[in-house]
Structure formats: structure tokens, C-alpha cells
Amino acid sequence: MIDHRQLPQRYLNYSLKNRNTFGFDATAEFTYEITSADQIAAVFVDITQQKMPWRVLGGGSNVILPKKLSGVTLLMNITGQEILSSDGDATRLAVGAGVNWHELVAWTLENNLPGLENLALIPGTAGAAPIQNIGAYGVEIADYIECIEAFDAQEQTFITLTKEACQFAYRDSYFKQHPNRCIVTKVIFKIPKAWKAHIHYADLAKQFSADSNPSPEDIFLAVCKIRTRKLPDPKIIGNAGSFFQNPIVPNEQFETLLKAHASLVSYPDAPGKRKLAAGWLIDQCGFKGQRMGSVGVYENQALVLVNHGGGTAQDILGLAKCIREKVHDKFGVTLQIEPNIL
């Protein structure tokens, strides 16, 4: 039996144009707005009985939507954040999956909980952030997660996954590897009180070349300034931020590439490996600022693909295919698409 007291309003043929940062004109066949975890269990009784496909949509900042999404789309709007506990070593923080990520980062600084400032201005929600294991300027969200509460769609029950169970890796996690298994409802952060500035990435290092001891607020403002300069505002021009992952290659391949391309931009990674700057690779292939119909490559950052208006998922994926082929032909490196293709 469906508990109609917990079942939220269902909408038919709901427009998702304002729910994806590319601004694609997409429509969901059925949509539920999820404002509490309890609603998910009730909705899944309905989904299971009718055998409908489903997916979760947060801020829509890391997705490529088709014109029509069949089945059920769950709009994740669980909000709220609270401090659970604090001791001499760390502060534990519980955050609803629908909380705006950037607003959360600002809130942590306002409450003297530094650590997430390098991840400022990344679009999306707190619940989507661990799925992608978002990262920027030498910091990953996995560094600060204690555990995650989620609804197991297969077992139809709520579970808690430890940090280890989340299987975090570069732009990857258990949730991304098993996309229709768990729905993140709450993220429990563990913010260490021993704070350290992470300013070794080129843009931040340049920003603080004359200041070796910036505050968390200084770093937050610097990151916002850098991202605003490099990345377009989705409200003005549709985009999903970084479209490709920075490829990681063995040191041997890196050394070979460096001999052929002396200005190759890269960063240290795990022992024996090197992370290449995907934006630099794309720029070297001449794509920066180029346009293909209604879509194109952002003029200030080759890593960002944009929708100039009227573009579709098919258009953006066609452009991505051209870029991947040329980068592979020139450098022998295969770029991986970062946004989820629904």
C-alpha cells in the first residue's frame, strides 16, 4: 500500500529547462518534488508497482538532458544543515541533499568551519557533490566526508555508507558507478579544526604570491574571483562547468608528451602518474571560442562547452565527439566526459 500521507505531489510533463544549467528544453514525464527523506520510500512503492524508470535531479549542473525524460524524475529539494557535534579535533556537520553547494561553503565560513573554501562557487547541490566527488584547486569533497545517508532503491531501505564504502576516487564514487542504486539524502561532514591553506595550484599560487599566509576567507574570495573570470554564468549562457575530466597518464607517457610539447600543463598525481590539463589540450587543438551551430567552446576556458541558445543534448555531444577525436589524434589522450548523460 502507498502511504499517501508521505507521497508528494506528482506533476505530468514537467519542464526541466530551469532545472539544468545548460538550459536545454527538456521535459519530464512524471516528476516528484522530494523535500524529506520519508517521501522517497512512498514514491518508490509507486515506481515499483508501475515498473517505471527513474532518476534523481539536483541542481542540474552536471547533467546533459534529452528533450524527453520518460518515467519518474525526483527533484531533490531536501534542505537544512546543522552542527551535530564538536570536539578538540573536528566538527561534524549534517547537510540535506538539496542544499545549494556554494551557499553551504559560505555558511561554513560564517560559522568558523574552514576547509571547503577551495570548492566555492561550484554549482549544484550537496547531495550531488559526493556522487561526482567534486574537487577544485587541490581539494576534493571526499577529504571532508565522514559518511552518507541514502535510500537503497534495490533493497527499498535507508542505509548509511562510511567514507570507505563510498569508494571515492578522482571524479568518481560508488554512487556514480552504481547510478540507480542509492539516492543520497544527507551528507555528514567531518571538518578538522587543524586548518591548512591549499594554494599550490597555479591560479591560487599566483593570487597569493605575495601572501604565504592567506585566511580561509581570502581563499574563498580568490576562488570566486578566479572562477567568475574563467567560467560563464549559467544564467547568462548555458553550461555545465568543466565538461571533461583532466586525464591522468603514466609518467612515461607524460615525459614523451613533454618532449613533444614543452609547454604542456600538468599537475602531480598519485605516484607514477601525472594529471594533464584538459583545457590546455583542447586549446592546443584550436577549439577555444569556436562555435558549432547553437553550441560552442567558451572563449575564456576551453574546458567549458556552452549552449548559446536553442542547443540540444545531441548538439553538445556532437561537439564533444569532435573535440575528443582531435585531442586523441594530436596527443594520444582520451578525454572523459564529466557531466552525466541522461
At 66-100, the pLDDT tens digits run 999 999 999 999 999 999 999 999 999 999 999 99
List of long-range contacts for 132-136, beta carbons under 8 Å, 24+ apart: 132/62, 132/171, 132/172, 132/173, 132/176, 132/338, 133/168, 133/169, 133/170, 133/171, 133/172, 133/173, 133/176, 134/101, 134/171, 135/170, 135/171, 136/223, 136/227
Q: Does domain 10-76 have CATH number 3.40.47.10?
A: no
Q: What is the pLDDT of residues 106-158, one digit of tens each?
A: 999 999 999 999 999 999 999 999 999 999 999 999 999 999 999 999 999 99
Whole-number average pLDDT of the chain: 94
Burial 266-275 (b: 16+ CB within 10 A, else e): beebeeeebb
Does residue 217 carry a catalytic annotation? no
DSSP letter (8 states) at residue 337: B
Q: Give me the sheet containing 295-297, strands edge to edge.
A: 238-242, 304-307, 295-297, 291-292
Contact 172/133 with Cβ under 8 angstroms?
Answer: yes
* Choice among 55, 92, 171, 324 that is catalytic: 171
CA separation for the pair 105, 120 (Å, rounded)? 6
HSE-CB for 180 with a 13 A CA cutoff: 10
What is the three-class DSSP state of 52? coil
Q: Which pLDDT band holds residue 342 (cuts at 50, 70, 90)?
A: confident
Does residue 338 carry a catalytic annotation? yes
pLDDT at position 297, please?
98
Contact 104/95 with Cβ under 8 angstroms?
Answer: yes
Does residue 209 carry a catalytic annotation? no
CA separation for the pair 212, 139 (Å, rounded)? 18
* Grid cell for residue 196: 591548512
Length of the chain: 342
pLDDT at position 9, please?
84
CA separation for the pair 193, 212 (Å, rounded)? 20
**% pLDDT > 70, the chain:** 98
* Grid cell for residue 120: 566555492
**Residue 45 predicted with pLDDT over 70:** yes
Contact 182/150 with Cβ under 8 angstroms?
Answer: yes
CATH of domain 81-192: 3.30.465.10
Sequence spans of domains, the chain: 10-76, 81-192, 233-341
* Grid cell for residue 263: 609547454
* Choice among 19, 61, 117, 242 that is catalytic: 242
**Residue 174 predicted with pLDDT over 80:** yes
Helices (H) and strands (E) in the chain, counts: 9, 20
pLDDT at position 203, please?
87
Identity of residue 201: Y
User: Quick one: fold of 233-341?
Assistant: 3.90.78
HSE-CB for 244 with a 13 A CA cutoff: 31
Q: Which pLDDT band holds residue 2 (cuts at 50, 70, 90)?
A: very low
pLDDT at position 3, please?
52
pLDDT at position 12, please?
95
